[in-house]
Chains A and B, each alone.
Chain A
Amino acid sequence: MKPVSERGEDWFTKLYAARYPDIVRYGMRRLPDADSAAELAQDVFVVVWRRRGEVPERALPWLYAVARHVVANRWRSRRGGPSLLTLAEADHVPARIVEPDAVAPVLDLHRALRRLPEFDQEILRLVGWEDLSVADAAVALGCTRSAAAVRLHRARRRLRSALTTPAPARGVRPASTHV
């Protein structure tokens, strides 16, 4: 804990400038559109200012933990509609993938990912996409490092298994959109 008096607007402005893009990307990986991701980042930094005494020196994993809670709270509060679908329920192809041949493997991975338990999905995203170490992922997930390591190992194994196991018959899904 740092005294709030040591963390004024300058400290906040630097942290915001440095980490805003990371949190927007976190949102883009979990929310259906970029506007929602930008709003998520703003909400996260509102929390940062209010809890600035608690922000550790290595702030990013802590920021991801806040973002995770904000996403979960929004999802709960807006469950009635699709405007904030979690990635688990939406296919989003990275915009850089314009070659049609490359779209299907990406969708396969997303579909395999969403067949996993939410915790498995999140630790895979934190390590695979946010590029966190196991220790930092543990901070973001609020568990111990050893628990995170075990869960990461299991999650990877489950993902590989889901990729090689046909999905339950729910009708064939189209290759999603790109561009």
Chain B
Amino acid sequence: MHTKQQVRELMGPADPARDAVVPPSPLTAHDLILRAEDATATPGGPARRAASRRNVLVGAAAALTVLGPAGVAQVLRNGASTGTAPAHPVTGTVLEPVAYEVPAGEPAGPYLRALAARLVDAPQDASGGRYSYWHTKSWGGSATMSPEGHMMSDVRERREFVADDGRRWQEDKPLGVEFPDTASREYWSTRLRSPSADPSATRPPQGIREIPPDPVDRRLPADRAELARWLRTDRPAGELVMRTYQLYSSYLVPRRTRADLLTILAEKPGFVWHGKVVDRAGRRGVAVTADLVPPPGERLQRAQMLLVFDPSTGELLAYEYLETAPNRRVLHYLLMLEARRTDTVN
């Protein structure tokens, strides 16, 4: 086979940008010409850099005027925005895995079926309005990893509003750095700059911005059979955890669908019941986990997906992705703080 083709086949699956959605630039061609000519006229590197930053903000405002809110967009990867690597002083928390009431666990099926049978309405079931609204807090979605494996990531708070016609608005707020272990915190402590060294650290909060419509089909699976197909129940339990997380991130899930989901998970071998837990937002919930099947060549590593459900309403409270061996540590978490309908984007 030709070398070029071999390289493409080898590298292609790992391409971080192959399916990336690149919305239009917030700066017009004219903005960039002005910036280029401004830079030519401004001697000195640092001054040019500062001018660039100002131009970004002014350019974005100009685009907003000319194009409307849709013209101001951030670059997304499959709809998930990624933030800049943090430039905060390193006082970040070292994350502890959620403590389980039943550490060893037992098959989750009977517990999930019982939970499904006693669900009550959640506040979202009675909410109304033109927009679906999610308020989440997550960590690990965009992480920085040192060559030695020391990891660092921002906690990000997100508010997202989606209209029925697919238009979306989003506010992202970085809340600070957290680490999966002490070694990572010590490593990055010696390498992070002061926040003032990075212009992005002093950038004013962007507030709520309209972002490109999500290509995802916003129609909730209509019945249990369709939901089972949507969840891909033929795949391993660990992947169902991911799909469960995606379900709650994409839809406001009504009580009947929540019950269907729990019974579908109950039928899937591989889910383990861990009883009562308290999530990172301090809420009481019940936990199930599914171990990930280690891929060939990764024998040393074991990982686990965790779902925390509200014990009354069955809503998803939290999702976590943990390494369980050789170290037990958190690699990603998401807290679903609020999900409901609303009439206002604010």
Contact = CB atoms under 8 A, between A and B. Distances in A.
B189 to A, nearest CB: 12
Contacts of B6: 156
A80 B143 contact: no
B188 interface: yes
B40 interface: yes
B16 A29 contact: yes
A82 B323 contact: no
A131 interface: yes
* B11, B148, B193 — most chain A CB neighbours (10 Å): B11
B317 to A, nearest CB: 17
Nearest to A163: B10
A17 B29 contact: yes
A53 interface: no
B3 interface: yes
B74 A35 contact: yes
Nearest to A128: B11
Interface in B1-34: 3-4, 6-8, 10-20, 22, 24-27, 29-30, 32-33
A169 B298 CA distance: 15
A133 B7 CA distance: 11
Contact residues of B: prevailing secondary structure: mixed
Given A83-B198, A85-B144, A96-B78, A177 B321 contact: yes
A152 B87 CA distance: 37
Interface string B138-156: 1011111111110111000
Contacts of B7: 124, 127-128, 152, 155-156
Contacts of A65: none
B180 interface: yes
B19 A24 contact: no
A174 B180 contact: yes
Contacts of B282: none
Given A16-B32, A134-B4, A177 B331 contact: yes
Contacts of A50: 36, 39-40
Contact of A177 (B146, B153, B293): B153
A105 to B, nearest CB: 6
A118 to B, nearest CB: 14
Contact-residue size bin, chain B (C-beta under 8 Å from the other chain): 35 or more
A45 B200 contact: no
A43 B26 CA distance: 13
B82 A35 contact: yes
Interface string A64-96: 000000000000010011111101011111111
Interface in A114-161: 114, 124-125, 127-129, 131, 133-134, 149, 152-153, 155-156, 159-160
Contact of B32 (A49, A98, A106): A49
A140 to B, nearest CB: 14
Given A46-B36, A127-B8, A176 B13 contact: no
B52 to A, nearest CB: 8
A100 interface: yes
Given A174-B327, A179-B141, A179-B332, 5 more contacts: A35-B200, A36-B84, A49-B36, A83-B87, A174-B149
23 contacts: A38-B26, A45-B29, A46-B35, A81-B191, A82-B192, A83-B86, A99-B235, A100-B303, A101-B238, A105-B295, A106-B14, A109-B10, A113-B14, A125-B11, A128-B10, A133-B4, A156-B7, A174-B149, A174-B301, A174-B303, A174-B323, A174-B327, A177-B143
CB-based closest 9 A-B pairs: A128-B11, A173-B149, A81-B193, A34-B75, A25-B17, A95-B77, A28-B17, A13-B29, A21-B22
